[in-house]
Amino acid sequence: MPTMLPELTSEIFGYLDVKGLGRARCVNTTWDMYACAILFKRVERLTNGAINQYDQFVSMLADAHSVIAGLGALHVLFPAYPAPPFLEIFTPDDEYHGVINFLMSREHFSPALPPTMRRKLPAAAAVDHDAEAASVPRWKPSDFVAPRAGNRGVREVAYLTKGTFAVFVVRTTVGLPTYALPAEWNSALANYIGAFDYQSAYPDLTAAGRALMDAGRDRAPAGVQTTVAAWRGHGWALSSDWQPWSASGRCNGVASVGCACARRYFGDRHCAGGVPLPVRSRVERMVAYEEPMETTFWWRGGGMCSADCHEGMDSMASGARVSLKPVLQGL
Ligand SMILES: [Zn+2]
């Protein structure tokens, strides 16, 4: 059994991403507990002290079957990426108003104008005479959040603030919040953490700073150019070409991680994730633990790598549906 100096354990675990934590959880039940505690701590830190009754906030998210996604989930599952000063909560269609009511009545958040409605590039790009400012773009964290109007899985978005902290409440069009995530503008946003499970759909690409887009290789989707520039400015590689990023250099078509036709679902073998509760507490304390039966199944859409990917097709439209996990596992 591996040993680790106790005083170093939390330091080392603090650097692990979703795959590293997953491997650590398999070592023994103590490491399993450490990994879950680290995830919990990262989520709590995300709220930056803005939530006064944190336990009630977590219970509310669990009762509302809502998940944290967006840049916050990206940070929690890949801590090399910085924590944003806001949360993005994705809710099922019929839980949206309940989540907003909780934030306003219990935590005293107020509605505000979303910063993502700004369309201009940050000023740093225009200041040519100031070499320092021009060489280091001063992106605001909110520049990394795309307007969600182009996301077919999103019905509406509320933006609430409390002091310097903000929450986006994103209402999904169906009863499962993860339905909207594959339709985010890039694949590094297909991550979530909820009370019952957490998943990252493209863990290797995301850890490598690579993100797939649906639209053409050099063409950003309409309305997100500022956001694309901010991501590129921070070193992200964005492309709709999957095959150059395939570990084998080949594409397995529908069985691949990232081809336009790949059949994917949260919880499949390409994902990294799990249940955010340690095994020990699930067994000994009989805590309320729910294995979600439903998940989101999707295909990214866009151009195929070649005619061999999927029955000679050149391209296909993206799509997603809510499906039962046991059915998908039989595919
Ligand atoms: Zn392919």
Ligand 1 centroid–CA 243 distance in Å is 6
In a domain, 36, yes or no: yes
Ligand 1 centroid–CA 256 distance in Å is 7
In a domain, 177, yes or no: yes
* Residue 173: how many other CB atoms lie within 10 Å: 16
The predicted structure's pLDDT at residue 62: 93
In a domain, 35, yes or no: yes
DSSP H helices in the chain: 6-13, 18-25, 29-46, 54-63, 70-77, 96-101, 131-135, 203-207, 225-233, 279-284, 325-329
Number of domain units in the chain:
1
In a domain, 219, yes or no: yes
Ligand 1 centroid–CA 139 distance in Å is 34
Ligand 1 centroid–CA 324 distance in Å is 26
Phi-psi region at 186: left, alpha or beta (left = phi > 0; alpha = psi -120 to 50): beta
Ligand 1 centroid–CA 317 distance in Å is 14
* Residue 232: how many other CB atoms lie within 10 Å: 13
In contact, 258 and 242? CB cutoff 8 Å: yes
Ligand 1 centroid–CA 323 distance in Å is 24
Ligand 1 centroid–CA 257 distance in Å is 9
In contact, 287 and 227? CB cutoff 8 Å: no
Structure tokens of 17? Answer: 């991403």
The predicted structure's pLDDT at residue 12: 80
Question: Can you give the length of the chain in residues?
Answer: 331
In a domain, 205, yes or no: yes
Q: How far is 45 from 48, CA to CA, in rounded Å?
A: 5
The predicted structure's pLDDT at residue 149: 76
Ligand 1 centroid–CA 67 distance in Å is 30
In contact, 176 and 296? CB cutoff 8 Å: yes
The predicted structure's pLDDT at residue 146: 82
Per-residue pLDDT of the chain (331 residues; tens, 9 = 90+): 456 666 667 778 888 999 999 999 999 888 899 999 999 999 999 998 999 999 999 999 999 999 999 999 999 999 999 999 999 999 999 999 999 999 999 999 999 987 755 444 444 444 344 444 455 556 777 888 888 877 889 999 999 999 999 999 999 999 999 999 999 999 999 999 999 899 999 999 999 999 998 765 445 666 678 888 899 999 999 998 999 999 999 999 999 999 999 999 999 999 999 988 888 776 555 555 566 789 999 999 988 999 999 999 998 888 999 999 888 887 6
Ligand 1 centroid–CA 168 distance in Å is 34
Render 240-262 in DSSP notation, one character per residue: S--GGG-TTSS--GGGSSSSTT-
Residues linked to residue 273 through DSSP beta bridges, in sequence order: 199
Ligand 1 centroid–CA 94 distance in Å is 37
The predicted structure's pLDDT at residue 221: 64
DSSP H helices in 47-130: 54-63, 70-77, 96-101
Ligand 1 centroid–CA 264 distance in Å is 13
Ligand 1 centroid–CA 250 distance in Å is 8
* Residue 73: how many other CB atoms lie within 10 Å: 28
Structure tokens of 76? Answer: 């929690």
Ligand 1 centroid–CA 207 distance in Å is 21
Ligand 1 centroid–CA 258 distance in Å is 8
Residues linked to residue 13 through DSSP beta bridges, in sequence order: none
Ligand 1 centroid–CA 237 distance in Å is 19
In a domain, 213, yes or no: yes
In a domain, 1, yes or no: no
The predicted structure's pLDDT at residue 203: 98
Quick one: angle between helices 6-13 and 29-46, nearest 10?
A: 50
Ligand 1 centroid–CA 182 distance in Å is 17
In a domain, 175, yes or no: yes
Host domain of residue 142: 6-116+125-329
